[in-house]
A and B are shown apart, each in its own frame.
Chain A
Amino acid sequence: GAVVSQHPSRVICKSGTSVKIECRSLDFQATTMFWYRQFPKQSLMLMATSNEGSKATYEQGVEKDKFLINHASLTLSTLTVTSAHPEDSSFYICSAPRRGTSTDTQYFGPGTRLTVL
Chain B
Amino acid sequence: QKEVEQNSGPLSVPEGAIASLNCTYSDRGSQSFFWYRQYSGKSPELIMSIYSNGDKEDGRFTAQLNKASQYVSLLIRDSQPSDSATYLCAVGDNTDKLIFGTGTRLQVFP
Contact = CB atoms under 8 A, between A and B. Distances in A.
B6 to A, nearest CB: 9
Given A43-B102, A46-B97, A105 B43 contact: no
B96 A34 contact: yes
A97 B43 CA distance: 15
Contacts of B41: 91, 113
A103 interface: yes
Contact of B88 (A43, A95, A104): A43
A101 interface: no
Contact of A32 (B46, B88, B96): B96
Interface in B63-110: 88, 92, 96-103
A104 B41 CA distance: 26
Interface residues of A, number: 21
A106 B43 contact: no
A106 B100 contact: no
A11 interface: no
A108 B44 contact: yes
A103 B49 contact: yes
Given A44-B88, A105-B49, A106-B96, A111 B102 contact: no
Given A106-B34, A109-B43, A42 B102 contact: yes
B32 interface: yes
B96 A105 contact: no
B31 to A, nearest CB: 10
Contacts of A106: 34, 46, 92, 96, 98
B45 interface: yes
Given A97-B96, A103-B49, A105-B49, A44 B32 contact: no
B45 to A, nearest CB: 7
A88 B39 CA distance: 22
B42 interface: yes
A110 B39 CA distance: 11
Interface of B: 32, 34, 36, 41-46, 49, 51, 88, 92, 96-103
11 contacts: A32-B96, A34-B97, A34-B98, A43-B103, A49-B96, A93-B43, A95-B98, A97-B96, A106-B92, A108-B45, A110-B43
